[in-house]
Amino acid sequence: MIEVGTILDEKVFYLDRALLKEYADASGDQNPIHQNEEFALSVGLPNVIAHGMLTMALAGKYVSDFAGGSAHVLEYSARFIKPVIVPAGEKVDLTVSATIAEIDGDKVSLTLSATSAGVKVLGMAKAVVRL
Amino acid sequence: MLNPDSVGSTFAGTESITVSQSEIDAFCAVIGETDTAIAPPTFTIRITLSQFEEILTRPNIGLDWSRLVHGDQKFEIFSPVKAGDQLTCSATIESYRVAAGNEIVTVRSDLHKGSDLAVSAWSTLVVRA
């Protein structure tokens, strides 16, 4: 049984360079900062970074799983506050959890937490689902 | 610089886009979604961002897409998207400001299935100084 304040189990997703390439192809966002280390460094980034929308898509999977499927997700929003940094040859974590913020009939609002390497990467992340 | 006269205006995107099952499958595969009957909640960014790029970089609007970063994103989903859906996209420039040389523009996209609004999505885009 959930109630306001219930904290949902966390789930860890893993990102690597291959996943960034796969997301670039699936989303159509081929910006080289997500694939090419030399380019990323040349524009002042610490390394290749994940697409903010990939981070949001993975946290969205967490929301869909809670809701019982993508068709139950009514609203979803997030601010991209820090990049997920993806060095070559490494798998980095995206750790997602959520707290029940509001229950209104069959509509449930979640406040999401998303961190990578201990750093908060999404801010103001919220979703509304219909259970 | 964005043409300030464009703020508040709505621009139609290109002709309708038909969503394919293979596009949904590819997006689901990235995030580990096994139910591919419905597009994941952020799937339509695939349509929205390319339409924003096409519209906002038109000579009369003038956004510099090459120095863009994505500030925040919101979706309201009124009708889940499935393969075979024919969607039309419009973009409304809702707000624009310049802060410390960065241009900050909020754009709303409305995706319609026929006459029904399926998804509204808001993107804050930042053109770095």
* Tokens coding B40: 């994941």
d(CA A75, CA A127): 5
pTM here is 0.96
d(CA A28, CA B104): 23
Confidence grade of residue A24 (pLDDT, cut at 50, 70, 90) = very high
User: What is the structure's pLDDT at A14?
Assistant: 98
Query: Which CATH entry fits the domain spanning A7-15+51-130: 3.10.20.70, 3.40.50.1000, 3.20.20.70, 3.10.129.10?
Result: 3.10.129.10
User: What is the structure's pLDDT at A78?
Assistant: 98
User: What is the structure's pLDDT at B37?
Assistant: 98
User: What is the structure's pLDDT at B129?
Assistant: 80
User: What is the structure's pLDDT at B14?
Assistant: 77
Confidence grade of residue A56 (pLDDT, cut at 50, 70, 90) = very high
Confidence grade of residue A43 (pLDDT, cut at 50, 70, 90) = confident
Helix, coil or strand: residue A42: helix
CB A127 within 8 Å of CB A111: no
Span A110-114, average pLDDT: 98
User: Who among B27, B35, B77 is closest to A73 (CB)?
Assistant: B77
**Chain B CB within 8 Å of residue A4 CB:** no
User: What is the structure's pLDDT at B15?
Assistant: 79
If you compute the radius of gyration of chain B from its CA atoms, what whole number of angstroms results? Answer: 15
Strands (E), chain B: 10-12, 17-18, 68-77, 86-99, 102-113, 116-127
Query: Which regions of chain B are under pLDDT 70?
Result: none
* Tokens coding A47: 């390394």
**Do residue B80 and residue A76 have CB atoms under 8 angstroms apart?**
no
**Do residue A76 and residue B41 have CB atoms under 8 angstroms apart?**
yes
- Chain B residue with the nearest C-alpha to that of A123: B72
Q: What is the ipTM of this complex?
A: 0.96
- CB proximity under 8 Å: A 30-59 to B: 52-54, 56-58
Residues near A67 by Cβ (< 8 Å), separated by ≥ 6?
A73, A108, A127, A129, A130, A131
Span A28-37, average pLDDT: 93
* Domain ranges for chain A: 7-15+51-130
The domains found in chain B, sorted by start residue, are 4-127 (3.10.129.10)
CB A70 within 8 Å of CB B41: yes
Span A57-61, average pLDDT: 98
User: What is the structure's pLDDT at B2?
Assistant: 87
User: What is the structure's pLDDT at B67?
Assistant: 82
Span A110-118, average pLDDT: 98
